[in-house]
A and B are shown apart, each in its own frame.
Chain A
Amino acid sequence: MMTSQMAKQPKKSDRSTPDRPSSRHVPPGPSGGVENPFAETPFGRRKRRVEFFAKAVFLLMTLLIVFPLIVIIVYLLYKAFPILSIDFLFTNPTGGMRAGGIWAPLLGTIYLVVISLLVASPVGVLAAVYLNEYARDTWLTRIINLAVVNLAGVPSIVHALFGVGAFVLFSGMGRSILAASLTLAIMTLPVIIAATREALGAVPMAFREACWNLGATRWQTIRRIVLPNSISGILTGIILQVSRAAGETAPVMFTGVVFYKAISEGDLFAYGLFDQCMALSMHLFTISTQVPNVPDALPYGTAVVLLGTVLMVNALSICIRAYLRSRKKW
């Protein structure tokens, strides 16, 4: 019934002028015979009801989206609780990946993220500098923008195919940490470009003009004025890149990550650049689908570590952003 009202009601409001004419039919209020122009009319009441209904529906939709996030996190934590400990982080998977911890995949993920970060952040930041500081509104700029948008939209498995074709086979790197990291770097480039552009765009033009008036060249202005003033925004983008790269599975599973590889525990430099490695995301996939009879808590523990890392990194970036906004000087 409510919905049919909702559908009809706005059409009516189109034809009749609201409130005034209908208010004449309202019985006289307590003020004795004098017509109260502010008394609620049936039309107004219905409008309010529809309004309340619409708001409730939208609120419900929003809550239904927020709800799964909380349920998922709580449920994963609950199931993983028995296994979570410091030892879990620092021991290798053992017994055909049915026991032990996640040290080898954890270290592998750190390697992949750090190397892809070292490649993607300079290229991404400079690309954004070009787009924001140098490029004029020409066809080339338009094509670059289009390319950035499309690079962000390429499916992750196609990035994997590209990594296999370009790095593993064509460049002869073989399946290695380097090939996997480069694939990840290209995949996460749009994140850095977008965040850096936003940060550079927030630096007022007057800063640059003042610097040019002192005789500085374009690059001097960028290096001394624009970049220092936007460094925290750029950092936010780079942190987001970390969280994206840490969670990706498809691009690395054919370019350098293997099912199982034992490394010495506690050694931070256990992998070489051309070695293959394990990764947390791939490890979660393996033990939850490929290995039979894994004790229940193990994949949940891995999922919690992966999800926890990613969410914490994201929360860090959100905090930096909020802090920046609160102390913006211009």
Chain B
Amino acid sequence: MIDRHRLEVLTEPAVEWIIRLCGISAIIFVFGIFFFVFREGSGILFRGFDLVEFFTSSQWVPTSIGNKRYGIFALIAGTASVTLLAMAIAVPFGLGTAVFVSEFCTPKLKEAFKIVIELLAAIPSVVWGFIGLTIMNELIIRLFNAPIGLTVLNGGIILALMSIPIIVSIAEDSLKAVPDSYREAAEALGASRWQMVYRVLLPAAKNGLLAAVLLGIARAIGETMAVLMATGHAVRIPRSVLDPVRTLTATIAAELGEAPVHSDHYQVLFLIGVVLFSITFLVNLTADLIVKGIRQK
């Protein structure tokens, strides 16, 4: 018995070091992701690559023989249009659902809705893409009499459904964090539920709600398979919601397989990865700072 005890005490420092190493693993991985993606893509930067053209030109012709062009502006426009449309749908619906689930529901119904929303969040993105490709595609062709249903509208609706669960769960958390005394005070003054929600709860929880929206945006920007399958595949700046587009993520997914390793095209795709990483990093950082701001108050 004593031997076993001594063994445990002796090995404890080693165990603690392993735990500490695992603890900082998340930092290592985030740095590792940036490092390796940048490492693969950076080669082209030292060969006189025009960064201004990269961001402002809408000519994406990576495989032409004589005249290769790497301008991602149209791709950025594609990502922006799909994300904007998705948020125009997801923000009101997500926040509305969060308010309903947290303030207007009976406890049992609340549990049921939360489970459904959790299941909605679990649907894999490739299945969403498949739904966009089949059900939504046909629906849009029939409803709008459009030649093709794989459009900004299709991708936007799919992305909205995908980011709603994250918006609902974070918004609901931040509504739950508003102290009950606020609700009691509002009720004591004779406010109805709706008055309480929009004059007391929404202002009190507005930071958390903003963070919820930001995380929804980050999710929509980073989504790959669903937009790859549902938005058509045309590199162009969309003029209406019934135009097909191509996003940053879909471009990487579609072309990485065909680009020869360490060619210009391959390295430009990794640079797009760096751009995506930076955008989502900034959005997540902002959301995190906003949430931290609430906790300190």
Contacts and interface: CB of A to CB of B under 8 A. Distances in A.
B26 A307 contact: no
Contacts of A210: none
B20 interface: yes
B277 A154 contact: yes
Contacts of A50: 192, 194
Interface stretch (A92-100, A143-151, A265-273): A143-151
B22 A126 contact: yes
B193 A65 contact: no
Given A55-B104, A165-B40, A13 B97 contact: no
A186 B29 contact: yes
Nearest to B161: A68
A250 B193 contact: no
Interface in A236-254: 243-244, 246-250, 253-254
Given A155-B221, A156-B222, A303-B127, A161 B22 contact: no
A127 B96 contact: no
B195 A10 contact: yes
Interface size of B as a range: 35 or more
A165 B36 contact: yes
A158 B126 contact: no
Interface size of A as a range: 35 or more
Contact of A249 (B113, B117, B126, B190): B126
Interface stretch (B59-67, B223-231, B238-246): B223-231
A282 B125 CA distance: 11
Interface in B72-117: 92-93, 96-97, 99-101, 104, 113, 115-117
B281 interface: yes
Contacts of A314: 118-119, 122
Given A166-B36, A307-B124, A310-B124, A299 B130 contact: yes
A310 B123 contact: yes
A126 B256 CA distance: 35
Contacts of B39: 165
A301 B29 CA distance: 36
Interface stretch (B11-19, B50-58, B141-149, B174-182): B11-19
A249 B125 contact: yes
A189 B29 contact: yes
A162 interface: yes
A149 B288 contact: yes
Contacts of A166: 32, 36
Nearest to A13: B195
B97 A61 contact: yes
Contact of B192 (A51, A144, A299): A51
Contact of B27 (A47, A143, A244): A143
Contacts of A170: 36
A143 B120 CA distance: 31
Contact of B23 (A69, A131, A150): A131
Determine chain A's interface SS by DSSP, over half rule: helix
B32 A150 contact: no
Interface in B18-54: 18-20, 22-27, 29-30, 32-33, 36-37, 39-40
A253 B118 contact: no
Determine chain B's interface SS by DSSP, over half rule: helix
B130 A54 contact: no
A75 interface: yes
Contact of A123 (B9, B25, B222): B25
A65 B26 contact: no
B151 to A, nearest CB: 16
B205 interface: no
Interface stretch (A24-32, A201-209, A284-292): A284-292
Interface string A48-84: 1011001101110110111011001001000000000
A135 interface: yes
Interface string A149-176: 1110111111111101110011000000
Contacts of B221: 155
A149 B18 CA distance: 22
B25 A127 contact: yes
Contact of B222 (A48, A59, A155): A155
B131 A72 contact: yes
B252 interface: yes
Nearest to A142: B292
B152 interface: no
A318 interface: yes
A134 interface: yes
Nearest to B13: A219
Interface string A226-264: 000000000000000001101111100110000000000
B252 to A, nearest CB: 5
Contacts of B22: 122-124, 126-127, 129-130
B36 A162 contact: yes
Given A68-B120, A165-B37, 7 more contacts: A50-B194, A62-B97, A134-B23, A146-B285, A155-B223, A189-B29, A243-B122
14 contacts: A47-B192, A72-B123, A75-B135, A130-B22, A134-B20, A149-B284, A150-B285, A154-B280, A158-B273, A170-B36, A282-B126, A284-B127, A299-B130, A306-B124
User: What are the nearest 10 A-B pairs in CB distance?
Assistant: A247-B124, A155-B222, A130-B23, A165-B36, A58-B100, A126-B22, A61-B96, A54-B194, A153-B284, A147-B26
